[in-house]
Structure 1
């Protein structure tokens, strides 16, 4: 994600709250490409003409920055999870807006576009994706954060280590354990 290890997300958030514009720019530069990659192909094609994915990502980051005072830092990876949550909400709002007035939109199904599947969905398929999401939600928060960074955002272990303050080997082992928890939860779901 590019920033120096001493330039942690927590430190950047603190500096932004203190009025440091350069910290704001560094935080945006850190998360903009990650969110773009994650959001690509998740917006259904019928909604894409109305808003470009980049616009939604930028709207998400601006929303996060305007709500920064209310955000409570709870450890490495929590801000990325917060951004993911905000981006999903922005995408859901766009889907509602493009769906027309009075039309019911099933949000869980419409965030996955059949014509442009996400890398995750391409790898596991729709049914397994549902099982993945259910199993992920059942895991401890820390395991969820690590797996989302690795699987959904595609961060390497060095970037995850920078984000969480862990050593790369410790991040790799924690992710391996979390993946084991996820696999067990997914196999329990099929039983």
Structure 2
């Protein structure tokens, strides 16, 4: 499997999950209230967090903390359309914090055997897709973040840069290295 074929496989798998989470056509206009954001994007953000931290309960906490942080800052928000970007960045940052705490609390080893996906999402994935999601859990957290945000989140390099706080060039090189690592992991 070449790197471009690994990229297509990752894009197909995470794109499939993104399609499952796509908002209804009537919900695609920008939410006006925090309640709208919560109702429309909570599950998508939880799935994003699950892909980053490999644990559903922790992912829910990460998203809840992100919404609580936005609630505290809501009055200071100049542009409500930027709220979803703020939430995405908050989820990524809180997921990073979780991973750092895990590493310092115990000599962190990624939980390869954990299957934090819902029964519905597992049933909807083919064996190839399951192999990709399993291989994602073997990647270092930054590489996993970049691939998840790119192919599941559908974000551009600039948006990934904003969400993760790394430069666009680093996003591009990290994605390339991640795809190479994923390719190797899937061949084993």
TM-score, scaled relative to structure 1: 0.41
TM-score, scaled relative to structure 2: 0.41
| Larger radius of gyration between Structure 1 and Structure 2 | 1
